[in-house]
Amino acid sequence: MTKILNIHELEKTYTSGSKKLTVLSNISFEVEKGSTFSIVGPSGSGKTTLLGLCAGLDHPSNGTIELCGSKLEDLNEDERAQLRNKKVGFIFQNFQLLPTLTALENVIVPLELQGNKNAAKMGMELLQKVGLADRFHHYPSQLSGGEQQRVALARAFSNKPSILFADEPTGNLDEETGEKVIQLLFQLNKEAGTTLVIITHDLDLANRTQQILRLKGGKIMSNEKTMEINE
Amino acid sequence: MKKQWRLMSNLSSRASLQWLFKMAWRDGKASISRLMLFMASIILGIAAVVSIQLFSENLKQNIKNQSKALMGADFIIDSRQLPSKKVQAIIDSLNVAASEVNFVSMAAFPKNDGTKLVKVRAIEGDFPFYGTLDTEPIIASSQYQKSGGALVDATLMLQFNLIPGDSIKLGKLTFPIIGALKSVPGSTAVSSTVAPPVLIPFRFIDDTELLQLGSRKEYQYFFVATPKTDLELLEKKIDPILDYENADLDTHTSTSERLGRRYDNVSKFLNLAAFIALLLGCVGIASSVHIYIKEKLKNVAVLKCIGATRKQTFLIYLIQIAGIGLIGGIIGSSIGVGLQYAFPYFLKGFLPFDVQISITAQPLIMGILLGVLMSVLFALLPLLGTWYVSPLEVLRGTDENLVKPRKARLFTLAAILLFIFLFSFWLLKDALFGLVFTVGILITFSIMAGMASLFMKVIKKYFPSNWGFTERQSLLNLFRPNNQTMVLILAIGLGTFFISTLYFTKDILLAKTSVENNSENANIILMDVQAEQNEAVVNTVISKGLKVINNIPIVTMRMYQIKDKLVNDIRKDSTSTMNQWILNHEFRVTYRDSLLVSEELLEGVWIKKREPGESILVSISDNIARDADLEIGDQLIFNVQGVLMETSIGSIRKVDWGRMQVNFSVVFPIGVLENAPQFNVVTTNVQNEVNSADLQRDLVKKFPNISVLDLRQMYTIIEDILDKISWIINFMAFFSILTGIIVLIGSVKNSKYQRIKESVLLRTLGAKSKQIIRITALEYVYLGILGSLLGILLSLISSQLLATLLFKEPFIPSVVPFLVFLPGITILVLIIGLSNIRSVLKSPPLEVLRKES
């Protein structure tokens, strides 16, 4: 199968004064196009740093990242932003909706960035899918946490991404709401045929993906296919 | 692949300009309350600049009109003799509107056999073209030409108990007196008037037989200029030609300049007020946008995460800020214009004149441009943050990795300084002053930033760990991450600095106008007081309950030799560039041992007394030095009524001729002229017209040879101008101070968003209202005191520099800024600070967080 994400001997270090702190070292793995993939590990294991690097939000100290066929080290900041806009979707633990924009405006931002003229219509369809069509004109502060995350889901899928990165998507939600959001996430993912990369503490959630990468102390502990795949 | 992304990137940028405006609008719409504070700073700053500029233009126009009224025309050509062919050709080419010949002559009053030295002004044409012939009855001013009568000085008529219908004999002709002349343009200058004016129609002048060959007379030709005429250029081009022909050109602008430094200083002050109002607006913008953009960085990171480029995110907020600047500029300019129209309504009963309002386009266009420019420039530093914010912040939630680009910041700061320089240059029309102002602002800003930084370090180093919780929290707020110390001390400090500077400067100028307006200034000058009459004249003045202000000895003389050339030879020398008036002028010279307040020593040494055997070192005014090309040490021989007196130039003085006092071109030291034939000038101050007439009647009766010059009419005009000036200074200072206070309110109000989360967190953890109030109150009190104290102390230095370098006046600091501004601004900062957390105290924490986010 085609590889959509190819990480090779990745290393990330931070320098603080004379001290050098290695957050990630010798990280290599691949993610197949259309698959579901999870990265798990305790706090401080380097999960979020790895996600940032994979999505081109940060620069590695060493190693290479190939995302959607592009070598990230060859691209400048704006080219990376364009790559994200065309090929990548994001879901964050804190939802990260723009507080000054309505639900619909939040959803259509990636489409408008592409110059899509049907952005509003497509945005409404996505809000319909996540069950929030009647709340399209509400600002994030007028929505509950679960509703905000559903708007974030609609936004993440709005640009029909090839790969979707989800950082602790249920971390700020209660169990029941979290479950609904996850079901919606998998459902939308299946419909769109998107590659899904999830960072989570939740092993049950990780087990619903096709492959799990375990991190500890900035190193890969294991990288295995899961036995059980939730449909 | 890389090429493909570049292409996509370019296509996307092109397609998204409309989207950028849409995003700027969407985001701005939701942040309208915060942006309103930011816009308020622009509106007030621009309103102040536009209203001051327009008002300044109108004031200039009004004073210009008054200077025209003093002259009665736009410009005059005058000559001591009938114009030569060349001069007549110039007069004809300039389209003369009216003319006169004037001379001093004795007048007789058949009614009571009285006689008096008067200045006869024989006029042809509709003079004056500006100002009025103020007569009693009013109709007399328009009738005297037609009916062939005379208008006689009102005080003179009082002295001789004359009424309209009586007659006055001038030479061979007797004229009926048509009316009393209260004021007439051209009869107010001390130099030209030693006798009261009498106006008659020009057509009778030959019949009087007073214009004998050799008698001292002056021909004047009055002109009205078209609006496009450049009077300065005209004077520059024609005056040298006229000079050579023993004629002279005077424009009303040079007359208004002669009104003295008072007007210059007011103009400078108004420009300073405009400059300060705009800078206050800039302080407001910088502090508001700093906090506003800081709040937006998270949004920028999210946008970058989902694919927006650096340029796009930067442009969204740049468009927003420029848009607010444009709207603020338009509203501010409109308010500035509105204020112009509102002035006459506000000022009824205050202003001694009707303000003629006219709106010129330049201040309006400048207002709108300035609104956009100042918004963008002063927002650029915080805006740069959007360029460099990393999308990683979305995941991390901190700004610790935020790059602070040194080059871009330096470039922005340089652009801001250039803006300040260009703006001050536009206002002051002087590159050096503009540079000094800009450097001064930079130094003030640096000192304040340095002091704020030092303040934080000192508190951190000597932190009082044993203090109570609330006191420690309030101190911690001053230096911990996310503190607002630097921003608020700069905003409060600069705001107070500008307000206090303006207040001190206002005092400098108003002190001057009040000093000059008191009874210590002479308004009656008694000329030709002979040495043997001096004591009796002084006693007469004192017996009327009046004070003798000056008793000045005067010796008349002419130049005989300048350097090594006889004056007669210079007259004949066609290559000489020397100004002709020097050669023909009868100098009225005095001797004394000290300089007057209207004089300033420019070169040489002031000689108090000449000891026997020493050479005579005289002091000359700078205009003589310039016109006769004289330097220190040059020889001058005077003809003192037949006796030649050899002198050298000991010093050169700058003389403020605009001051209402007896000034001299040449001053001798004591010990030279005491025995020369001389007369005295005695000056005093009378309260009103009746007192003036009473004194004059008495003096003329006892000492018929004495000429009495009443300056009260001149004073009335000067006092009118000073009244206007005082009012305008007070109003503009008040307006700019109000701007400063509103900017301060805006800056402190914006700091709300810095503190609200902390306060909510404390509330969540169980802090009582009292504790939260105490923590907040103490923080704002520290900031208020430090900021305002720094501002006032630095304004003392700036005011001293302004007083010395710009206004050239002494500076005595008022205590008002210390007693009123320091506590007032601190309390204001405290009240706004506490109002910022009101919602935290009244509502549940979660509700506050939802509402404020």
pLDDT, residue B648, reads 93
Of B9, B30, B851, nearest to A79 by CB-CB distance is B9
**B289/B412 Cα distance (integer angstroms):** 15
Q: Tokens 């720094």 map to which residue?
A: B790
Instruction: Give A171's contacts in chain B (Cβ within 8 Å).
Output: none
pLDDT tens string A182-229: 998 898 888 888 999 999 988 888 999 999 999 999 999 999 888 644
Q: Min CA distance, A210 vs chain B (Å)?
A: 24
A177-to-A93, A150, A164, B301 alpha-carbon distances in Å: 13, 10, 20, 27
**Eight-state DSSP code of residue B670:** B
Q: Tell me the range of B187-196, B210-219, B495-504, B664-673 where mean pLDDT is highest.
A: B664-673
Residue B764 has pLDDT above 80, yes or no: no
* Cβ-based contacts of B852 with chain A (< 8 Å): none
- CA–CA gap between residue A77 and residue A85 (Å, rounded): 12
CA distance B235 to B63: 20
Closest partner residue to A115 among B16, B26, B850, by Cβ?
Answer: B16
Quick check: A98 and B299 CB within 8 A?
A: yes
Contact B303 A115 (CB under 8 A): no
Q: What angle do CA B276, B279, B282 make, to 5 degrees?
A: 155
For residue B304, the chain A residues in CB contact (below 8 A) are 81
Average pLDDT over residues B205-211: 84
Chosen for mutation from A70, A83, A96 (greatest number of chain B CBs closer than 10 Å) is: A96
DSSP code, position B126: S
Give the DSSP letter of residue B249. E
Cβ-Cβ contacts under 8 Å for A222 (sequence gap 6 or more): A212, A213, A214
Closest CA to B295 of B810, B649, B750: B750
The per-residue pLDDT for range B626-644, each reduced to its tens digit, is 888 899 999 999 998 888 9
Four-CA torsion B565, B570, B574, B579, nearest 10 degrees: 120
The residue among B388, B394, B400, B377 whose CA lies nearest residue B310 is B388
> Is residue B200 over pLDDT 90?
yes
Average pLDDT over chain B, rounded to whole? Answer: 80
Q: What is the pLDDT of residues B334-345, one digit of tens each?
A: 888 887 776 655
Virtual CA dihedral for B421, B424, B427, B432, nearest 10 degrees?
-80
Average pLDDT over residues B93-112: 86
Chain centroid to CA A128: how far? Answer: 22
Out of B32-36, B336-340, B436-440, the most confident range is B436-440
B34 or B815, which is more confident: B815
What DSSP element (H or E) covers B96? none
Higher-pLDDT residue of B688 and B422 is B422
Q: What is the largest CA-CA distance in chain B?
A: 115
Q: Which sign does the torsion angle of CA B308, B314, B315, B317 carry?
A: positive
Q: Which residues of chain B does A74 touch, with a Cβ-Cβ cutoff of 8 Å?
A: 1-2
- pLDDT tens per residue, range B377-399: 888 888 888 888 888 777 766 55
d(CA A73, CA A77): 10
pLDDT of residue A229: 41
- Give yes or no for residue B430 having a pLDDT over 50: yes
pLDDT bucket at B188, cuts 50 / 70 / 90: very low
Q: How far apart are the C-alpha atoms of B471 and B803, rounded to whole Å? A: 42
- For domain A3-225, the CATH architecture is 3-Layer(aba) Sandwich (3.40)
**Residue whose tokens read 């103020």:** B134
Nearest-CB residue to B12 (from A100, A113, A167): A113
Residue B633 parent element (H or E): none
- B853 pLDDT higher than 80: no
Question: What's the confidence (pLDDT) of residue A228?
Answer: 46
DSSP readout, A132-182?
Answer: -GGGTT--GGGS-HHHHHHHHHHHHHHT--SEEEEESTTTTS-HHHHHHHH
* B5: closest chain A residue by CA: A79
Banded model confidence at residue B451, pLDDT cuts 50, 70, 90: very high
Note the helical H segments in B658-768: 689-702, 712-750, 752-764
More confident residue, B659 or B39: B39
| Residue B386 at interface with chain A, using a CB cutoff of 8 Å | no
Enumerate the residues of chain A whose CB falls inside 8 A of the CB of residue B302: 96-98
pLDDT digits (tens, 9 = 90+) for B532-556: 888 999 999 999 888 888 888 988 8
Phi and psi of B117, rounded to 5°? -75, 125
pLDDT tens sequence across B320-334? 999 999 999 999 998
Are B595 and B566 spatial neighbours (Cβ–Cβ below 8 Å)?
Answer: no
pLDDT at B2: 52
Flag the least confident range among A128-132, B100-104, B163-167, B346-350: B346-350
In three-state secondary structure terms, A63 is strand
Give B300's Cβ-side CA count (13 Å radius). Answer: 27
In whole angstroms, what separates CA B323 from the centre of its chain? Answer: 34
pLDDT beyond 90 at B177? yes
Instruction: Give the integer Cα–Cα distance in Å for B624 and B604.
Output: 15
Average pLDDT on B431-448 reads 88
Q: Over its length of 231 residues, how does chain A's per-residue pLDDT go in tens digits?
A: 688 999 999 999 988 777 888 899 999 999 999 999 999 998 888 888 898 899 888 888 999 999 999 999 888 877 888 888 889 998 888 888 888 888 998 998 888 887 888 889 999 999 998 999 999 999 888 898 889 999 999 999 998 999 999 988 888 788 888 888 899 889 888 888 899 999 998 888 899 999 999 999 999 999 988 864 444
Q: Residue B186 has what pLDDT?
A: 65
Using the Cβ of B853 and the Cβ atoms of chain A, whether some distance falls under 8 Å is answered with yes
Query: Has residue B319 got a pLDDT over 70?
Result: yes
For chain B, report the end-to-end CA distance as a whole number of angstroms. 41
Residue B396: how many other CB atoms lie within 10 Å: 16
Per-residue pLDDT at B351: 44
User: Regarding beta strands B565-566 and B548-562, do their DSSP bridges make them parallel or antiparallel, or are they unpaired?
Assistant: antiparallel
The ipTM of this complex is: 0.79
Strand B217-223 vs strand B98-109: parallel, antiparallel, or unpaired? antiparallel
Per-residue pLDDT, B753: 65
